[in-house]
Amino acid sequence: MEDTSKNIESLYEKATEFGKAGYELGKLKVVDKTSDVVSSFIPHYVVFVLAVSFLVFLNLGLAIWLGEIVGRIFYGFFIVAGFYGLAGIFVHFFMHKRLKKFIGNNIIKLLLR
């Protein structure tokens, strides 16, 4: 009877250790995925900020240049704003679902990598 009790106690201890090891493994997997997502996000963010800065200054220059061509500086800004307004409407009505699907698939690929 004592032998069975010791076996059950040993089995319980091993099961507890196995559960703790599984829990620790789960935590390490979460940390790994989180670090992977963050480490791939930061370089993309830096490139995004630089690209946006480039586009802002490019658009300012284009607006001023167009304004000088048409005679009033602020007309150039209206022209550039109108272009982006039309582009935004086009993207909203014709490209919204495709962009949403593309971004969603990329996020899923990143998380399942």
Quick one: pLDDT at residue 33? 80
Kindly write down the DSSP assignment for every residue of 16-83, as one continuous string: HHHHHHHHHHHHHHHHHHHHHHHHHHHHHHHHHHHHHHHHHHHHHHHHHHHHHHHS-HHHHHHHHHHH
What are 85-107's pLDDT values in tens digits?
999 999 889 888 888 888 888 87
What are 22-73's pLDDT values in tens digits?
898 988 888 888 887 778 778 888 999 999 999 999 999 999 999 999 999 9
pLDDT of 1 strictly over 70: no
pTM above 0.95, yes or no: no
